[in-house]
Amino acid sequence: MSLLVVLEHDRGKWVEANDEALTAARKLASDMGVELHAALVGVGARDLVSQAATGGAAVVHLCEHEVLTDYGPDAVGETVAQLVASINPSAITAVGTSRGNEVLAQLAARADLPFVANCMTVAPSDGPWSMTRVQWGGSLLEDATLDAPTKVLSFGHHSVVAEVADAPGAGEVREFAPALDPAMAATIVRDRDVQTAGVTLSTAPVVISGGRGVGSAEGFDQLEELAELLGGRVGCSRAVTNLGWRNHTDQVGQTGTRIAPEIYIATGISGAIQHWVGAMASKRILAINTDAEANMVTKADYAVIADLHKVVPAITAEIRRRQG
Amino acid sequence: MNILVCVKRVPAPGAKINVTEDGLSVDSAHLGFTTSPHEECALEEAVQISERDGGEVTVLTLGPVEAEEQLRYGASVGAHHIILVPTDGSAWDPQRTAAALTTAIEQAEQANGQPFDLILFGNESADSGGFQVGVRVALKLGRPSVNAIKGIDPGDGSVIARREIDGGFEVYEVPTPAVLGIKEGINLPRYPTMKGRLASKKATLETAEIAAEPGGQALIRLHRPPEQASTTEILGTDETAAVRIVDILEEIGVLA
Amino acid sequence: MSDFPTSAKVVVIGAGIVGNCLVGHLARLGWTDIVLIEKGPLPNPGGSTGHASNFIFPVDHNKEMALLGVQSANQYRDMNLSVDSGGIEVARTQERMNELDRRMTSAMAWGVPAEMLTPAEVKELVPFINDEVILGGFHCPTVSVVDSLETGTVMRKEAQDKAGLQVFANTEVLDLITEDDPVPGMSQIKAVVTDKGTIEAEYVAIACGVWSNRIANMADTYIPLVPAVHQMADVGPMDVLVETNNEIGYPIVRDMDTFCYERQSAGSMEVGSYGHRAILHHPDEIPSNEEAALSPTEMPFTQDDFDPQMETAIELMDMLGDAEIKYAINGLLSLTPDAMPCLGELPDVRNLWSAAAVWVKEGPGMAQVVAEWMTYGYPRVIDPHASDISRFYPDELSDEHIWARADEHFIKTYGIVHPSEQWESRRGLKESSLKAITDAAGAEYFTARVWERPHWYTSNADLVERYGLSEREVEWDNRWWSPIIDAEHLNLRENAGMVDLTAFQIFDLEGPGAVAFAEYLSVNKVDKAVGTSTYTPWLTPDGGFHSDLTMLRLGEEHIRVVTGAFDGGRDEAWIKKYMPTDGSVTFTNHTEDYVTIGLWGPNAPAILAQLTDADLSHEGSPYGSVRSVTVAGVDVDIFRISYVGDTGWEIYIPWNDAPAVWEAIASAGADHGLRPCGAGVYAVGGRIEKGYRLMGAELESEYNPVEAGLARPKVKAADFIGKQAYLAAREAGPDAVMCTFAVEDHTDSAGRQRFIQAGNAPILTNDGERITDSHGRVSVVTTAGNAPSYGKYLCLGYLPTDQAEIGNTFKVMYMNELFPVTVVATTGSAFDPDDSRLKG
């Protein structure tokens, strides 16, 4: 009896999410009272066996095939499905990254099993399992049950805090050679593009927007300067477009562009709902505003209650200082 | 290139989502409904391809009869055909959904006399987020599939599909017919025009009644996560806050 | 952030356009210690202000709405937060063209520049309009677009600077604490409980827009409004709009016949609709800021409701069809049972104020009204009697009533509404015990608020022929009117008429303090012999009219107040506001204990004499006297008075005895030509030829008794509300004088006979110029109607004193045409100026 955790790697490079996967899988295997196995699929993974063992894997299944030159959902999915058929684990898990969920979906489809994605907690039992999983991107939780001869489930990415194992696993390596149709090469990664320069408002990692509080079209020069330093883009509120200070293409909001940067710096923006709808997917929001009661301030993660005309140049100066 | 886009009707909630008393669904009494965002982008991509290269776009949904609203929305932004697979209104699990969709697609392809060159799904639905229906349908139809696609370049007998990864894209060349899971950001979906909306009211709704067996995953209860007090950290009240701000920019890795 | 206060002079709840302007105006009027509480964030808390279309069409047929619209527009202008975009109402039908002529008339009345345009002229101003589907346009260059959110911020700032206003956003009101008041049925506000703490407050104002009634309910009172959907879609961008590089570069177009407007918003066009079904919500259904996808009052767009509007919008502006619908909402706004706002002190909770059901277009003006009301005891900027929250009767304060009426009038937002138009829904709320009898006589009922009043009787149709009367030529003039009214009038003057006056509001003041209190309310002396009466104004503290009614001295400690059905609520509230709190006076509403029948005409004494042994002579029953007598075996009070100009009585009969008395009078009158007679005679025809004034028409708080011609030779010694101002007015003399005008020629430019209707018809010089007095008050027709006994069609209206001379000629504008009139009376009556008929 075993729990199989499917690990990821990028052409032989360990992926941080594996630490989460192993942390969650160790706990689950322990709750189940079974041995923890790990699967590493594709060329270049041999060097990662020790890391999987450190993470608690008693057995590491190294799955290699000439088709598996790089990631490919069909080929990797089929490989895992064949491995599962071969070793017959009680359950298979992974962390719910883009690839992790895709591979488990492939496995479940091929094995005609249910698959529960993005669990927070899992309660194994002899009968159907109970789990709590994520809906609505985390805005809601779902209590669910999973009734299947073999359980397939992923843990939500970042729902588990990676911990170092109390004791390493034995890390016994077992080679597994799947039988793959060469046609599966069709969905193997062919090539890679590096992100090109020239970010757009919707893809920029940093967006610095100005509202009516900027005061004039020229007032945006300070924002442009900071945005350039940060490799970001300048946006604006609807009021600014209406005043003719910026082009509509710069407008963030319901009727402008919807953005999701790493950080959104909203300066002099009160935060009308239409604007908020465009900005709310930002990972972090910093509001700079003189009004502590402004919508944007109360909804932001960070706020500075001060005049943007003083704060923005100060940020620029501080960055220049640190960059020497 | 003929493209099928599978979409899902989902509520359009605010920041706080309420659950019905029985815990089985989102309380949508005062919510509007929309097409799940990834699928909205998939539809836009399909329409752009058909406008550029020709071919027709079909939108299909499995859902309550009210999901006709999302199909008509699809027609209003350029889809040529709309198909409804009606449910009883309850949430169907992923296996059941995939089985019914597969049958519906097979029927549609039979009627068309040819397979769809591309079948587009959203990478995952906005509500239940099962991450699997497109993959299951692809395998049942025996077609290749790739998820998390943020770029499509149709070719002859294949498409170049780009999948976003850290710092760039993976490039796939997938032979058609194929199934792709689309991610938001691939494009900026258009809004319908008034004329488009009016024309969409005249689109013929095809209905495919399909029964399917429930799978092994069952919804027991929805609930809200424990309240997290939304707290704004005040970094300062004058320009000296710049130091803290730059610390944060460094921490989150946007400062090279 | 300052610490949360535990007490304040005044707490204003709600930081939308109204609440913000209210704190601003309070600060301007010298108030301090003000706290503003808002449940949502600032500057856009998520109420209706946040999604308002923010344009002001300053033309309205209703004086209050029109003048407060202009007042509001000026306040926005003064803050430099408004742009004059101009606006055009276009007509697709001849009926609408007629309505636009009526708009021209209102524009002239309220001093708003306006012109009629041909379709080609419309297209010059709005090049993207399809001029083939329109017949013309009404252009108003001072239509403005305002920034209501920024205005709120500026007003708050002003109040912070002037009065130390404290503002608490994200603070939810959980309860209003009240305390019993010495006056039975009344309470007084004590404190506001919020999630941040409790504030004891002397005054509390509710400016919570669509949530206002929910807050009012916390004090066990009621603000009758319902949140209703106004659909709006933002479509764009369109090059022609983008190229203006402006928030608004083209006039706003109101496509009135399709109930839509098109308003440029930068590169897009906002298409708004009042043409869909009434979509009403309960306040509890409105999501919170957190639950709402957009904002609480921007509810999910119900596309199906909007589809028909899109077709007609594209017809008018084809370019709309190809632009994207970027943003579309079911925006919530407030509707009330009678389409007017809810302003003033709640009649049952002392010091709790309502500033609700106010839209952005009239927000600053109405906030000023409330602030002045709180400061001076009555507003100065305008008489808000039609917006006064105390106008409602209990039957109007229910969800059922509001929903039915809102459902009925929503579509009339851009509709063509006749000044006499009657409600279809919620009829029969209050009916007389005479109803079966008046039904049998073929009564056509009009409502006086909740009360059903026979307006004329179809059983009198035979009189039309007898007096040789006919219908009016133009349907609009004939609508809600009948020549039977004039026939009943002539019959009353020739024989006698019997009027169902059940709708009279009857309030008794009793107790040792009753007479003194009545004296304090009234200009004229009430403390007279038992069995006498006093017809008197009640004044505002500033000396304008609050009420105009009759008080009967029924006993040493017993005063009966009789007032009209349109004013019962306001008058009852006024009494309770000023009543002694020491228990020396009790108040009883006897409206539904008595039926009043009016019996007037030359044959009235002969008819009544058959039914009573009482002395009906001018010695036994002199004018103005009240006598308890037996009529047809029933104990009644007969009050010799007349509002129609012929001798006779108001007979006060116990409710259940009224049918028998009516029948007895009818029998006795059979040989004297007695006919039932409707309110058409009582309220208009009879009184206009006698020049009798009506509260709400001739009598408003902007005018005083000296100007209305109601000042008595002497002023009583006792103090009364408004006395100082009244004395000053007497000293100063009238700035304007109430006059009666005769229409000399009814022929319009098309050769048709037209009949002026009151309310918005300006009285102009012979050159067609507006007339205003030195206070800026404009001369308009306050009442108009046929005076069949006098033989002419008459109008009432004020003229500046120096022009108020019999024989002077003027023009009255009606439907954008001028009709010649002559002054035929100033303070007196056009008909029977010596009142000889009252002595008959």
The residue-averaged pLDDT of A166-173 equals 94
d(CA C392, CA C674): 35
Asked if residue C762 belongs to a domain, the reply is no
Nearest to A262 among B13, B144, B252 (CB): B252
- How much is the average pLDDT of C472-494? 97
**Residue C1's pLDDT band (boundaries 50, 70, 90)?**
very low
In this structure, are A141 and A7 located in the same domain? yes
**Model pLDDT for residues C121-157, shown as the tens digit of each residue:** 999 999 999 999 999 999 999 999 999 999 999 999 9
Position A196 in a domain: no
* pLDDT digits 0-9 by tens, B71-117: 999 999 999 999 999 998 889 999 999 999 999 999 999 999 999 99
Residue of B191, B194, B231 to mutate, interface with C, max C Cβ within 10 Å: B194
Q: Are residues A93 and A172 in the same domain?
A: yes
How far A32 CA sits from the closest chain B CA (Å)? 19
Largest CA distance in chain C: 87
What is the structure's pLDDT at A270?
84
Read off the CATH number of the domain in which A316 is found: 3.40.50.1220
Cβ <8 Å between C235 and B16: no
Range(s) of the domain holding residue B194: 3-251
| CB C490 within 8 Å of CB C466 | no
Q: Cα C104 vs. chain centroid, distance in angstroms?
A: 21
Same domain, C374 and C498: no
Largest CA distance in chain A: 69
Test the B interface: residue of A315, A320, A321 with most B CBs within 10 Å = A315
User: pLDDT category, A133, cuts 50, 70, 90?
Assistant: very high
CB contact under 8 A, A277 and C294: yes
What is the domain count for chain A?
2
Query: Distance between CA A152 and CA A144 in Å, rounded?
Result: 13
Per-residue burial over B148-163, b if 16 or more Cβ lie within 10 Å, else e, is bbbbbebeeebbebbb
Residues within 8 A of A (CB atoms), B 27-66 only:
none
How far is the alpha carbon of A87 from chain B, nearest alpha carbon, in Å? 22
* CATH code of residue B132: 3.40.50.620
Chain B: closest CA distance from residue A60 (Å): 26
Provide the number of structural domains found in chain B.
Answer: 1
According to DSSP H, which parts of C51-147 are helical? 63-78, 94-110, 119-125
What is the mean predicted confidence (pLDDT) over C729-758? 97
Contact B172 A190 (CB under 8 A): yes
What is the pLDDT, as a whole number, of residue A239?
81
**Residues C697, C702, C707, C709, CA torsion sign:** positive
Query: Is residue B10 included in any domain, yes or no?
Result: yes
Q: Does C289 sit within 8 Å of B14, measured CB to CB?
A: yes
CB contact under 8 A, B193 and C321: yes
Q: How many CB atoms lie within 10 A of CB C769?
A: 11
| Judgement on whether residues C440 and C395 belong to the same structural domain of the protein | no
Looking at the DSSP bridge assignments, the partners of residue C599 are C498, C649
Q: Is residue A244 part of a domain?
A: yes
Tokens for C160, please give them.
Answer: 């912070």
> Per-residue pLDDT for C569 more than 80?
yes
Tens digit of each residue's pLDDT (9 = 90 or more) over A9-56: 988 999 989 999 999 999 999 999 999 999 999 988 999 999 999 999
Query: Do A181 and A282 belong to one domain?
Result: no
Question: For B248, which of A145, A194, A302 is closest by C-beta distance?
Answer: A302
The rounded percent of chain C whose pLDDT value lies above 70 is 100
User: Strand locations in C761-816, DSSP E?
Assistant: 763-764, 781-787, 792-800, 809-814
Give the structural domain span for A129: 2-187
Domain residues for the domain of C396 are: 7-47+149-225+338-400
Beta strands per DSSP E along C458-593: 496-500, 505-510, 533-539, 545-555, 558-563, 586-589
Structure tokens at B134: 């497109």
**Same domain? C443 vs C353:** no
Q: How far apart are CA A250 and CA C241, in angstroms?
A: 18
Most A CBs within 10 Å, among C1, C20, C39, C42, to test the A interface: C42
Q: Are residues A26 and A154 in the same domain?
A: yes
d(Cα C276, Cα C307) in Å, to the nearest integer? 9
C443 in the same domain as C396:
no
Which of C280, C325, C329, C332 would you mutate first to test chain B, the one with the most B CBs within 10 A? Answer: C325
Which of C350, C379, C400 delimits the end of a domain?
A: C400
User: Torsion over CA of C98, C99, C103 and C108, rounded to 10 degrees?
Assistant: 30
pTM over 0.95: no
**Together in a domain, A168 and A248:** no
Tens digits of residue pLDDT in C505-559: 999 999 999 999 999 999 999 999 999 999 999 999 999 999 999 999 999 999 9
A 10 A CB-CB count for C439 gives 12
C323-364 per-position pLDDT tens digit:
999 889 999 999 999 999 999 999 999 999 999 999 999 999
The CA–CA distances, whole Å, from B120 to A184, B5, B105, B116 equal: 20, 5, 12, 10
User: In the predicted model, what is the mean pLDDT of chain C?
Assistant: 96
Share of chain A above pLDDT 90, in %: 70
Q: What is the reported pLDDT for C746?
A: 98
Q: Chain C: nearest CA to A18, how far in angstroms?
A: 36
Here the CATH number for the domain that contains residue C495 is 3.30.1360.120
Among residues C356, C380, C400, the one where a domain terminates is: C400
Per-residue pLDDT reduced to its tens digit, C759-817: 899 999 999 999 999 999 999 999 999 999 999 999 999 999 999 999 999 999 999 99
A146 and A212 co-located in one domain: no
**Rounded to a whole number, what is the distance in Å from the CA of B131 to chain A's nearest CA?**
6
Q: How far apart are CA C811 and CA C802, in angstroms?
A: 17
Task: Judge if A149 and A223 occupy the same domain.
Answer: no
Indicate whether A142 belongs to any domain: yes
Is B192 part of the contact surface with chain C (CB cutoff 8 Å)? Answer: yes
**Same domain membership, residue C606 and residue C491:** yes
- The size of the A-B interface in CB pairs under 8 A is 238
Quick one: A98 and A52 in the same domain? yes
Q: Which residues of C touch B29 (CB under 8 A)?
A: 285
* A38 within a domain of the structure (yes/no): yes
How far C298 CA sits from the closest chain B CA (Å)? 11
Verify that A177 and A228 share a domain, yes or no: no
| pLDDT tens, residue by residue, B138-197 | 999 999 999 999 999 999 999 999 998 766 789 999 999 999 999 987 887 899 999 999
The yes-or-no verdict on residue C692 having pLDDT over 90 is yes
Name the residue among A144, A193, A301 with its Cβ closest to that of B217: A144
Measure the CA–CA gap between C699 and A282, rounded to whole angstroms: 61
Structure-token match 């009009």, residue found:
C446
- Give the per-residue pLDDT at A254: 66
Position A197 pLDDT exceeds 50: no
Find all residues with CB under 8 Å of C264, minimum gap 6, and list them. Answer: C85, C241, C244, C247, C248, C249, C250, C252, C270
* Token pair of C682 as six digits: 């009582």
Q: What is the pLDDT of residues B195-220, one digit of tens each?
A: 999 999 999 999 999 999 999 999 99
B178 located within any domain = yes
Give whichever of A79-93, A240-254, A262-276 has the largest mean pLDDT: A79-93
Closest CA to C391 of C312, C336, C332: C336
Whether the CB of B228 is below 8 Å from some CB of chain A: the reply is no
Chains touching A (3+ CB pairs < 8 Å): B, C
A298 neighbourhood in chain C, CB within 8 Å: 41, 169-170
Cα B242 to Cα A313: distance, rounded to the nearest angstrom? 9
Same domain, A169 and A279: no
Distance from chain centroid for Cα A117: 14
Residues in chain B closer than 8 A to C322 (CB atoms): 193-195
Residues A147 and A266 in one domain: no
Average pLDDT over residues A147-151: 97
Q: Find, in chain A, the residue whose alpha carbon is nearest to that of B158.
A: A186
Looking at the predicted structure, is the pLDDT value of residue A159 above 80? yes
pLDDT at A196 over 60: no
pLDDT of residue C464: 97
A216-224 contacts, C-beta under 8 A, 24 or more apart: A216/A245, A217/A244, A217/A245, A217/A246, A219/A245, A219/A309, A220/A245, A220/A246, A222/A308, A222/A309, A222/A312, A222/A313, A222/A316, A223/A267, A223/A312
Residue of A nearest to B180 (CA): A187
Indicate the residue among C356, C374, C400 that finishes a domain.
C400
Alpha-carbon torsion (C438, C443, C448, C450), positive or negative: positive
Chains touching C (at least 3 CB pairs under 8 A) are A, B
C653 occurs within a structural domain? yes
Say yes or no for a CB contact (<8 Å) between B32 and C293: yes
In what helix (H) or strand (E) does residue A67 lie, and over which residues does it extend? none
Give a yes or no: residue A176 inside a domain: yes
Domain count within chain C: 2
Provide the CB-side half-sphere exposure for C614 (13 A, CA): 26
Out of A155, A187, A219, pick the residue that ends a domain: A187
Is C817 within the bounds of a domain?
Answer: no
Q: Are C105 and C762 a contacting pair, CB within 8 Å?
A: yes
Least CB–CB distance from C266: residue in A242, A274, A298:
A242
pLDDT at residue A117 in the model: 98
Residue C269 lies in a domain: no
Does C201 map to a domain? yes
Does B256 reside within a domain?
Answer: no
| Same domain membership, residue A215 and residue A181 | no
Cβ within 8 Å of residue A183, ≥6 positions away: none
